[in-house]
Amino acid sequence: MSSPEKVQKIIADIESTEELEFNRPLQSYGVELIPYQFLVNDLSGNCGAFFVRFILFYLGIDENQVLRWRLENKFRQYQILNFYSPGCMPDTLGFFELLKQDKGVEKIRELFSKGYFLKAALGDASHVSKSWDKTKEFDDILSQYSSLNEPYEAYVVQKKLRLRREFRVHTFCKDVIPLLTYRIPNTQYFNYHRDAEEFVASVSNRLPNQITEGTLIAWDIGLTTNGQYFIIEANFTGFHPEYRRGFQTTGYVDNHQYGAVICAWLNSYFCERYGLFIETVDPILLANYPFIKHFYITMLFLLITIIAKQYINNKVFFFL
């Protein structure tokens, strides 16, 4: 089966799948953060990942659905995202698909000379390890590579961008989550991050609900020197079946410096948007995990702020 035929088959499967429905409370209610064993098992992350998994569980979200299409694989991402939003990602070619062609090795080397580079299709935190470019390892990879029986590409050949800035933007369903956009790698707000958010929203809105509904996505976005935005990769929350097998989500929630604050902010987002929030925390968690204690203190402050805002708005409405 050719690559276009494979993509069409995946698209057909996505669009024929019933849209994910999850719990949307009729009124706000709080729950206690408890380390249930089934949420702690197979957790590829720390306290922050546990928090996200806990919230998604209470919303009734199937953590396996979106990754049934293997969207954690960077080549599969390119195929699907580029189908719905052409040109949103830099030109990306499957490594094995190139090798299968006549004089495939020569074609790959020629692409390298034209500004393409070799990149692993599975991996994370490459901006931290600076390990995304595998071009210098091409000969070693070629000598060991065998993808005849693999259903997914292990490497891609991608057009290298001349980047001015990089951002991480977070979405849930079709929402860009407010105040959760960061500049990579310095994790600072930047003056024109709203343009990056608008770009992500334009891509997300073109995707079918079967992909976005109930899905928390961390988008790595590049701004080129000529002012164009591109998706570098999308990090899908859910149960990853292969690389670092287990439940994964955006790494920002686990950061030892600001992860607890991000979790508290996410808690406020889910409270205001979906009526579900963590109200109390298991005393054992508070006693043994400083991260959770920091989250709890920040969470209380933010919830008090929300309640105060609602009270003030109701008072203003009453006097009007």
Q: Tokens representing 24? A: 């949307």
Which three-class secondary structure state does DSSP give residue 39? helix
Instruction: For 245, list phi and psi in degrees, rounded to 5.
Output: -50, 130
pLDDT of residue 23: 75
Quote the number of domains for the chain: 2
Q: What is the pLDDT of residues 115-152, one digit of tens each?
A: 999 999 887 654 544 567 899 988 888 887 765 446 67
In-domain check, residue 277: yes
In-domain check, residue 133: yes
Query: Within the chain, which residues score under 70 in pLDDT?
Result: 1-2, 26, 124-131, 146-151, 185-192, 306-320
Question: Which of these three, 130, 159, 188, is where a domain ends?
Answer: 159
pLDDT of residue 182: 87
Question: Which of these three, 129, 159, 189, is where a domain ends?
Answer: 159
Question: Which of these three, 159, 189, 205, is where a domain ends?
Answer: 159
Which three-class secondary structure state does DSSP give residue 254? helix
Helix (H) / strand (E) element for 232: namely strand 229-236
One domain for residues 100 and 151: yes
In-domain check, residue 177: no
Pairwise CA distance, residues 253 & 230, whole Å: 24
One domain for residues 57 and 116: no
Which three-class secondary structure state does DSSP give residue 198? helix
Residue 49 near residue 291, CB atoms below 8 Å: no
One domain for residues 106 and 152: yes
pLDDT of residue 21: 78
One domain for residues 59 and 100: no
Taking the alpha carbons at both ends of the chain, their separation in whole angstroms is: 66
The boundaries of the domain holding residue 127 are 91-159
Nearest to 123 by CA among 252, 242, 238: 242
Q: Is 186 exposed, middle or buried (0-12, 13-18, 19+ CB in 10 A)?
A: exposed
One domain for residues 303 and 258: yes
In-domain check, residue 238: no
pLDDT of residue 185: 65
Pairwise CA distance, residues 26 & 288, whole Å: 34
pTM over cut 0.85: yes
pLDDT of residue 319: 34
pLDDT of residue 197: 95
In-domain check, residue 140: yes
In-domain check, residue 130: yes
Q: What is the dihedral of CA 154, 52, 10, 83, to 10 degrees?
A: -90
The total number of residues shown for the chain amounts to 320
pLDDT of residue 221: 95
The b-or-e profile of 116-149 (16+ CB within 10 A means b, else e) is bbbbbbbbbeeeeeeebebeeebeeeeeeeebee
In-domain check, residue 2: no
One domain for residues 35 and 95: no
